[in-house]
Amino acid sequence: MIFTVAIDGPAAAGKGTISRALAARFGFAHLDTGLLYRAVGAKGGDPVAVARSLQPDDLARGDLRTLEAGQAASRVAAIPEVRAALVDFQRRFARAEGGAVLDGRDIGTVICPEAEAKLFITAAPEVRAHRRWLEVGGDEEKVLAEVKERDARDMGRADAPLRPAADAVILDTTGLDIAEAVARAENLVRDRLNRL
Ligand code: DC
């Protein structure tokens, strides 16, 4: 069975948690596409050359979840040649036999417009910053500024900007706990599986 779940949305909206839960629930493979951009940004050097020669080891480094790695990722992600170098890998992953969940910014719009289920997960910036701050600590105001800066860059870039696909279901997790958000996402995927 070929079945793609496309999960897009801004930083710290809950995409990762929901994607992992969906993959476990339905037995699908999961790809956190933000890691690809984080790995390119973290490696330094010429981002286009790095993206073209990215290796599995590059995704395993321990410092890819930091705020700095997020900012570096957002910057290299605005370079069209970097995005182009990462497209084929993501498309193959999305359409591999057995079903796949991919989370990112452009999965439903660019990487896999034909995805059988599309979710756009969002939440108020203050709520997203608070969740991220609980993970990374430090100054919450700084985390909020970082979230807003990344949102603006990811939505404002010319190539594959962050936006919901026309046929995506919007899931606003501002007032939802994890269990509720996951349950709603599961219902959508189950509904789309029943349509096959
Ligand atoms: O999802 P994340 O926070 O790990 O993503 C880090 C950055 O990578 C994000 O700010 C923008 C970029 N990104 C992207 O442009 N397209 C994707 N599909 C995933 C991430």
Residues 10-67 pLDDT 10s: 999 999 999 999 999 999 999 999 999 999 999 999 999 999 999 999 999 999 999 8
Nearest Cα to Cα of residue 129 among 108, 145, 117, 153: 145
The pLDDT of 127-131, averaged and rounded, is 96
Q: Collapsing DSSP states into helix, strand and coil, what is residue 147?
A: helix
Pocket test for ligand 1, best of 31, 61, 105, 159 (most atoms within 8 A of CB): 105
Report the CATH number at residue 14. Answer: 3.40.50.300
How much is the pLDDT for 173?
96
- Residue 102 confidence class, pLDDT cut points 50, 70, 90: very high
Closest ligand 1 atom number to CA of residue 102: 18
Q: Does residue 72 have its Cβ closer than 6 Å to ligand 1?
A: no
Q: What is the pTM of this model?
A: 0.96
Give the total number of structural domains in the chain: 1
Q: In terms of residue numbers, what domain contains 23? A: 4-194
CB 102 within 8 A of CB 90: yes
Q: Does residue 10 have its Cβ closer than 6 Å to ligand 1?
A: no
- Residue 194 confidence class, pLDDT cut points 50, 70, 90: very high
